[in-house]
Amino acid sequence: MNKMEETVKIYTLDKDDEVLLPLIKEAFKRENIPLQIRSKYDTAYDGIFIGQKGLADINVFNKDEQRAIDLLTEILDSNKLE
Decide if 2 is inside a domain.
no
Q: Which amino acid is at 2?
A: N
- SS3 sequence of 26-39: HHHHHCCCCEEEEE
In CATH, what number is assigned to the domain containing residue 29?
3.30.70
DSSP, collapsed to helix, strand or coil, labels residue 25 as helix
Q: Is residue 38 assigned to a domain?
A: yes
Domain total for the chain? 1
Residue at 1 is within a domain: no
Condensed to tens digits (0 to 9), the pLDDT of residues 21-37 reads 999 999 999 999 999 99
For residue 64, give its domain range: 7-78
- Residue 14 falls inside a structural domain: yes
The Cα 47–Cα 15 span in angstroms is 11
Model pLDDT for residues 34-72, shown as the tens digit of each residue: 999 987 655 555 555 445 557 789 999 999 999 999 999
Q: Is residue 44 part of a domain?
A: yes
- Residue 59 falls within a domain, yes or no? yes
